[in-house]
Amino acid sequence: MKAQTDQFHVSGNAQDRIKLPGVFWAGLKSIGLTPGAVLRRSNLPPTVYNGESFVTTAQNFAVWRAIRELAGDPAMGWKFMSQVGTDQYHPTLLAALHARTYRESIERLARYKQLCSAEEFQISTKGDEVLVEVSWPFAEKEPAPAFLLDAVFALVLELGRRGTKTRLNPKRIELTRQAERDNGFAEYFGCPVKYRATRDVLVLRTADVELPFATHNDELLQMLAPQFENQLKAGRAKQGILDQVKWVLKRLLSGSRPDLLMVAKELGMSDRTLQRRITDEGTTFRQLLTDTRHELVRQYLGDPSVEINEAAFLVGFEDPTSFYRAFRSWEGKTPAEWRAAHQHRRTHRR
């Protein structure tokens, strides 16, 4: 029997536009760096600092690589967020800090972060563990800088520690990178760290996630939440319904089989309304699901580290035979043949 799994997915920003908030610049100051030095190292204009310019995911990654190069300290990633005072928090972080419980805090962080960032969270519960993962859909297979990932995980942990007023420690952290000396993880996170893992994930205890927040402020939430929800709806309205559906499907497909009702709930509408809008565009939910699976599996098979059976699972196929039959109908060849040909073309382009 499979373990019961609950998942909380967040559809990401429809555009690759990131506005570096005040808390980011406060974090730089806390570790002894200046905006000018970081922007020069990243080849970005000063207008990024005063909020007049947005950056792309690639440019954001360049900023974090510059921080790593200038800081010269492997512990600066988590220090970046742990040393910032709550008075420097962006309003979206305040909404997370004043939630009712740690779980609600993480979910609010994940939901509202997309208003000013192009990163996505996936939060899943498996037994006594809550797994927090983050991805950057516009990264074009470029791995996220380790410092950025450390800062995100530290932010999630800081919300829990500051909200509950206790020094919570994760159950463990899994990182795809190699171990690095003097990164201070054992001291700060206070949990085992598994390096060279298959994914980057912060693993919390379910019991900790259910703890109430001493910082809960319902009046503040009633002021902030409606504004953020309206902004989210406005952002989605600018994106076509078919793109919205496929975006949500890509988040839901990881090891599950999403249906129309699940997607409609993510988009904040009834299943009948979503069905009608899809039909008006001249297609079907089933076709969108098939197209999304096809797009995703090509991405997974383009990564040599992803096993073929794992790719099948990640796009919602529990039966390998069904997956192989579907893939042959898409590409006219088996997954192994497609991967070999794809890798051959990449080798000859170099």
Q: Please list the pLDDT of the chain residue by residue as tens digits (350 residues).
A: 333 445 444 444 546 778 888 888 888 888 889 988 999 999 887 778 866 667 888 889 999 999 999 988 999 999 988 988 888 888 888 999 999 999 999 999 988 887 777 788 888 888 899 999 998 877 866 788 999 999 999 999 999 999 999 999 999 999 999 998 899 998 999 999 999 999 899 999 999 999 999 999 999 988 888 888 887 776 655 567 888 788 788 777 765 678 999 888 877 778 898 999 899 889 999 999 999 889 888 888 887 777 888 888 888 888 888 999 999 999 999 999 999 887 766 555 44
pTM over 0.95: no
Q: What does each C-alpha distance from 232 to 10, 177, 272 come to in angstroms?
A: 11, 34, 21
Neighbour tally for 107: CB within 10 Å: 17
- CA dist 187 and 332 (Å) reads 53
Nearest to 110 by CA among 268, 194, 228: 228
What's the pLDDT score for residue 66? 94
DSSP one-letter string for 229-261: HHHHHHHHHTS-HHHHHHHHHHHH-TTS---HH
- CA dist 150 and 175 (Å) reads 10
**DSSP, res 126:** E
The answer to whether 105 and 159 have CB atoms below 8 angstroms apart is yes
Residue 41 tokens, joined: 């190292």
Neighbour tally for 128: CB within 10 Å: 11
What's the pLDDT score for residue 2? 35
Half-sphere exposure of residue 144, counting CA atoms within 13 Å on the CB side? Answer: 23
- CA dist 252 and 140 (Å) reads 20
- CA dist 138 and 148 (Å) reads 15
The SS3 assignment for 284 reads: coil
108, containing H or E segment: helix 102-113
What's the pLDDT score for residue 131? 94
What's the pLDDT score for residue 11? 46
What's the pLDDT score for residue 176? 93
- CA dist 186 and 176 (Å) reads 17
Domains of the chain, earliest start first: 5-218 (3.90.1520), 240-349 (1.10.10.60)
> Strands (DSSP E) along 70-215, which ranges?
120-126, 129-135, 172-174, 193-194, 201-205
Neighbour tally for 118: CB within 10 Å: 22
Beta strand 172-174 pairing with 5-9: unpaired
- CA dist 111 and 10 (Å) reads 6
What's the pLDDT score for residue 98? 94
Residue type, 110: A
Sort 220 into a burial class: Cβ within 10 Å, 0-12 / 13-18 / 19+: middle
